[in-house]
Amino acid sequence: MSVIEIHGLKKSFGKLEVLRDVNFSVEAGERIVIIGGSGCGKSVFLRCIELLEIPDAGKIFIDGQEITAPNCNLDKIRQSMGMVYQKFNLFQHMNVLENLCIAPITLLKMPREVAEKNAMELLAQVGLVSKAKEYPAVLSGGQQQRIAICRSLMMNPKVILFDEPTSALDPTMVGEVLAVIRMLAKKNLTMIIVTHEMNFAREVATKILFFADGGIYEQGTPEEIFENPKREKTIAFIQRQKYFHYEIYDKNFDLPEMQNKILLFAEKYGLKPKYTYRLQLCCEEIVYEMLNGAYNDGDKISIVIDIIYSEKDGKSEFKISCTGKNYNPFENITEENIEDELGVMILKNLTQEISHEYAGGVNKISFKL
């Protein structure tokens, strides 16, 4: 039996549809890591599992019990789940030991001495025994999050949900929290983790879910998602692709405007000046080559330029769509005409993986910089 089963989960906020017919199951010992862009529904999905957000439709089963059923014992079912939030949510008026012991003593009727013994053992595992009598206000963010993880473990949950557990931390504290989660992973605890830490996701997950378009857009092993993603939005996210688009419909187009837009694009994503200049140079040369080679006087002009810049490898792919006659500017360069083809030689020297095809009256050229 699956630890978690989700069937037809839907959730909207007003007219905004966040989750659309999501189906998924989690087996014991799996470590599911959820990644995706901001606002794609990752945290809403996690909160629906614990019914912190009420789904509009669908059924959720925790260890065989339907948590979405009208008459379910919600508090009882929640005891089998741990939840670690972005903002820790520790009780500020209680010291660390009290924060850890209150739930098992109150809900599980665990004897105080047993609860305190278990709490001290967990604190030892995360290196915080000395903080047992301290209050949350005097602890660092990383220490508070480690305490929050221990608090979830005190209930001996069947599954732990982590909602971006490092997003509220100073970068210097992220590592200490991720180290604790890695330790839990080695114990084969069942976990669902929403995170933006890609290296951590690759290391700790048994399965990756990429969220987009209202649900699970693509899923697979870390190797499948990070090394060989299949779908367009997954590829763009993993490779951190950025897009530049420009259209030209007149031979007397505004070259300074195009170059300025490329500059703004480059500045936005932190590209170096030398690389920015090469982007501008490639665009200028390919546009003029196509204007001069693919069109006769009076022809209707249509040139579309798309640049896809990958932050992952620092390279750009150019895709040029150009109407007119069949024209490949990279063909038929000889020693006799090389002086007349200076623009093409510049492109050849800067670029690689050049391709050209002509179909339906459109030239399609691609190359990488």
pTM of the full predicted structure?
A: 0.74
Checking if the pLDDT of 158 tops 70, the result is yes
Checking if the pLDDT of 142 tops 70, the result is yes
Pairing of strands 191-194, 31-36: parallel
198-235 residue pLDDT tens? 889 999 999 999 999 999 999 999 999 998 999 989 99
Checking if the pLDDT of 342 tops 60, the result is no
Is 171 or 120 the better-scoring residue by pLDDT?
Answer: 120
- Under DSSP, the state recorded for 137 is G
Comparing 31-35, 239-243, 252-256, 300-304, the range with the smallest average pLDDT is: 239-243
Q: What is the mean pLDDT of residues 313-338?
A: 79
List all residues 6 or more positions away from 23 whose beta carbon is below 8 Å from its beta carbon. 6, 7, 8, 9
pLDDT in the model for residue 333: 55
Tokens of 49: 């599992």
DSSP state string for 214-276: TEEEEEE-HHHHHHS--SHHHHHHHTTEEEEEEEE--TT--HHHHHHHHHHHHHHTT--HHHH
pLDDT in the model for residue 193: 96
pLDDT in the model for residue 310: 87
49-106 residue pLDDT tens? 999 999 999 999 999 999 999 889 988 888 889 999 888 889 999 999 999 999 999 9
Residue 60 near residue 6 (C-beta atoms within 8 A): yes
235-269 residue pLDDT tens? 989 888 888 999 999 999 999 999 999 999 999 88
Comparing 105-109, 191-195, 348-352, the range with the smallest average pLDDT is: 348-352
106-130 residue pLDDT tens? 999 999 999 999 999 999 999 999 9
Q: What is the mean pLDDT of residues 124-138?
A: 95
- CA 286 – CA 283 distance, rounded (Å): 5
Average of per-residue pLDDT values in the chain: 90
pLDDT in the model for residue 332: 59
The dihedral formed by the CA atoms of 33, 38, 40 and 42, expressed in degrees to the nearest 10? 30
Q: Map tokens 């005190």 to a residue.
A: 154
Is 336 or 286 the better-scoring residue by pLDDT?
Answer: 286
Instruction: Band the pLDDT of 369: cuts 50, 70, 90.
Output: confident
Pairing of strands 57-62, 207-212: unpaired
pLDDT in the model for residue 198: 87
pLDDT in the model for residue 324: 94
The dihedral formed by the CA atoms of 348, 351, 357 and 363, expressed in degrees to the nearest 10? -80
Q: What is the mean pLDDT of residues 161-188?
A: 87
Residue 17 near residue 214 (C-beta atoms within 8 A): yes
pLDDT in the model for residue 345: 67
> 141-153 vs 112-125: helix axis angle to the nearest 10?
130
Pairing of strands 241-248, 65-66: unpaired
pLDDT in the model for residue 168: 78
Phi, psi (deg, nearest 5) at residue 345 = -65, -40
pLDDT in the model for residue 337: 46
